[in-house]
Amino acid sequence: MLKPVELEIELFCRGMRIAESCHTAEDGRRISRTRAGLGSGLEIVIPAPKPIWVNVPVVEPFALRSPFVLDISAGRYFVNDTRDGADYDVTIPPEPAWYSRNTSADVPMSRVGVLQGNYLGIYISNRCLYWSWSPSLACKFCTTGKNVGAAEESRKRITDVVEVAMAARDESNCIFTHFNTGYHYEDKADREVIHGLRQAQPFVRAVRTHVGGFIGVQAVPVPRNSYYEYDELIAAGTDHFSFCYEFEDPEVFARLCPGKAQTVGQHAFFEAMEYTSRKLGRGRVSGEIIAGVEPIEATKRGIDRIVNAGAFPTVCIFRPTLGSEMEEVAPPDPDAMKEVFTHLHQTCRRAGLPVGILPIEVSLVVQPEETADLMSPNIASDLYALKNSALRQLARPYVAWKRRPRGSRAAAMA
């Protein structure tokens, strides 16, 4: 039998078939091809001491050949591994009722934002401008240019975003709203008005004032002489920044992220990561990297580099999403990914980086706190687990405080 985290990694790498007996369209969340397309799978939860949320690939060609099959018996969902016959109980989280409602401006709420785990993801700008170049400079694994305006609204109104965030908070117990944008001439100071960070600011301020919770922003980094944009976003209420530098290997980065390489460069992500980490505190900024394309030793170096910058490593297992230039590339080997996530756990533990402190579940990645079972327990791992458990308890009053909208009038209305 596989451990829960091993099953999670296997499902990310191999995908899953769905038996005809299943009723996932009625029982689960719709498959949403929004933002970069990474969340284009079926949301499931693997029960464990801590439930593990997984967005499992089910529509890609490799998933149709998977040894894993989702089935149902007597109302109980389980994943069957056809290689050895093992069954693994899972649950299918229901689709939120608000997905089927419209905002006051008559916009379908599910075209404004979607849950990926228990956090709300919203792409707030028009499509990434790397897609507008000829030839395209878009990242080869991304489908943002095909999803924005098709599967989701091309431009989001602040009032719509606030209404959706309120619904997610009140009905789905969501405490984290994550905004992201694509490239908007961040390397050019004279285009500051359209920089992703600038576009995010009114949304951050509105959600902080009227909704509350934790707020994250992901945008292409600006140069050092524009770092006041980060300062102003922090003042507006941003709790977290994430930086998608994707690959540690310079050649792979340049080949698969041509726009990022030609405009801001790989170094810009780490300079901004270090700056915002100093501003917000260790572990409150994340560096995002894709595992399964470059050599795993490069990915391990990237994890170390992110932690050394004072940031939190978010490692995505490569998914060949439909419509991307890399849709025909094979997904990675699960054993190689287990090695990567073992290294992730070791690196976070050595650095004393708090993990799993906030009740935020992300279904698109293997979260660091889930990786402990990849290693044999020892005194160091036990002490690390105890420390994180204590921090979770201590964080509860802080989480309750953060959930309150900032404005006193808004707080009274919440």
Tens of pLDDT, residues 388-399 = 999 999 999 999
Alpha helices in 177-295 (DSSP H): 196-210, 228-236, 250-256, 258-263, 266-280
Please give the CATH architecture assigned to the domain spanning 97-402: Alpha-Beta Barrel (3.20)
The mean pLDDT value for 147-169 works out to 82
pLDDT band with cut points at 50, 70 and 90 for residue 375: very high
Q: How far apart are CA 133 and CA 291, in angstroms?
A: 27
Cβ contacts of 132 within 8 Å, gap of 6 or more: none
Tell me the residue ranges of DSSP E strands in 124-225.
Answer: 176-180, 214-218
pLDDT at 342: 98
pLDDT > 80? residue 165? yes
pTM of the model: 0.94
Q: How far apart are CA 125 and CA 17, in angstroms?
A: 34
Q: What is the pLDDT of residues 271-307, one digit of tens each?
A: 999 999 999 998 899 999 999 999 999 999 999 999 9
pLDDT at 250: 97
- Please name the helix (run of DSSP H) or strand (run of DSSP E) that holds residue 286, with its range, or none: strand 285-291
pLDDT > 90? residue 199? yes
The mean pLDDT value for 342-366 works out to 95
pLDDT > 80? residue 207? yes
Domain ranges of the chain: 4-89, 97-402
Q: How far apart are CA 368 and CA 401, in angstroms?
A: 25
CB neighbour class for 276 (10 Å; exposed up to 12, middle 13-18, buried from 19):
buried
Of 102-116, 137-151, 168-182, the poorest mean pLDDT is in: 137-151
